[in-house]
């Protein structure tokens, strides 16, 4: 199986790659259009700032490429947020694959949310063999509102989408590559998607 991690300026591609290697698969980190298009699974990681990342994707024609992908795609953290319509971070128009918006946390709690929080209302297949209220690691100052594509919810200031799915596109706000064994289970489930 060919697994590709999209290489761009806002990725923690290396960490994601190491996590997959611990599961026994050897992903390819690339920004090559042909390699991405021909992969069996595509992971779209992300650590960084939305407008900078989006500009980079556009400059390198990765935005149109990602939208056309037919195989399972997993956006992680910023990668998931970029799948949406719009982000308040840098007032950024995103890829518009998921019909929902990314908003800034506003409230009494610490921002960004950094640390381990629970996920609930889990939907298959991404959360196969994952218990309700399992802890995952989050680092983010912006969140994706609840929407028709929500497949898990987490509470921080407000209930938000901690994972989404629409057709072949999946997204997780938490970092499965940094969430211990439950995180590895989610990555494994993604790899095993038909």
Partner 1 sequence: MLTKRIIPCLDIKDGRTVKGIHFENIKDAGDPVELAMRYCKEGADELVFLDISATNEKRKTLTQLVLDVAKNINIPFTVGGGVNSVYDVSILLNAGADKVSINSAAFNNPRLIKDIAQRFGNQCVVLAVDIKFENDDWFVYLNGGRLNTGKKALEWIRQSVDLGAGEILLTSMNNDGTKNGFACDITKLVSESVHVPVIASGGAGSIKHFEEVFLKGGADAALAASVFHYNEIKIGDLKKQLKIKNIEIRL
Which residues form the interface with partner 1 (CB under 8 A)? 10, 12, 14-15, 18-19, 21-22, 47-49, 52, 78, 109-118, 135, 137-141, 155-156, 175, 177-181, 183-184
Q: Among residues 34, 49, 77, 140, which one is catalytic?
A: 77
Q: Among residues 49, 89, 94, 175, which one is catalytic?
A: 175
Q: Among residues 84, 89, 140, 177, which one is catalytic?
A: 177
CB of 74: closest distance to partner 1 in angstroms? 17
Question: Which structure tokens are listed for 180?
Answer: 């211990």
CB of 38: closest distance to partner 1 in angstroms? 26
* Whether 37 contacts 69, CB under 8 Å: yes
Q: Please give the Cα distance from 38 to 29 (Å, whole number).
A: 13
User: Phi/psi at 93 (nearest 5 deg)?
Assistant: -80, 125
User: Phi/psi at 63 (nearest 5 deg)?
Assistant: -65, -50
Nearer to partner 1, 79 or 165 (CB): 79
CB of 168: closest distance to partner 1 in angstroms? 26
List all residues 6 or more positions away from 33 whose beta carbon is below 8 Å from its beta carbon: 61, 62, 65
Nearest of 80, 62, 70 to residue 140 by alpha carbon: 80
Question: Which structure tokens are listed for 107?
Answer: 């409230």
Nearer to partner 1, 69 or 126 (CB): 126
* Whether 4 contacts 33, CB under 8 Å: no
Nearer to partner 1, 69 or 130 (CB): 130
140 flagged as catalytic = no
84 flagged as catalytic = no
Per-position DSSP letters for 25-49, written without gaps between them: ---EEE--HHHHHT-SEEEE---S-
CB of 164: closest distance to partner 1 in angstroms? 20
Nearer to partner 1, 88 or 135 (CB): 135
User: Any idea which residues carry the catalytic annotation?
Assistant: 77, 175, 177
């Amino acid at each position: 199986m060919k697994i590709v991690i999209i290489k761009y300026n806002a990725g923690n591609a290396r960490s994601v790659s190491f996590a997959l290697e611990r599961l026994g698969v050897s992903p390819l980190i690339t920004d090559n259009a042909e390699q991405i298009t021909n992969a069996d699974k595509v992971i779209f990681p992300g650590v960084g700032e939305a407008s900078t990342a989006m500009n980079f994707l556009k400059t390198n024609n990765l935005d149109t490429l990602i939208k056309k992908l037919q195989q399972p795609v997993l956006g992680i953290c910023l990668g998931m947020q970029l799948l949406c319509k719009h982000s308040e971070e840098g007032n950024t128009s995103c890829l518009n694959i998921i019909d929902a918006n990314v908003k800034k946390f506003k409230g009494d709690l610490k921002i960004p949310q950094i640390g381990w929080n629970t996920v609930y209302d889990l939907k298959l297949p991404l959360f196969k063999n994952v218990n309700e209220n399992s802890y995952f690691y989050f680092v983010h100052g912006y969140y994706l509102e609840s929407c028709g594509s929500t497949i898990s919810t987490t509470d921080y200031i407000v209930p938000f989408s901690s994972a989404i799915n629409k057709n072949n596109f999946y997204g997780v706000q938490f970092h499965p590559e940094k969430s211990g064994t439950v995180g590895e289970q989610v990555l494994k489930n993604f790899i095993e998607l038909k």
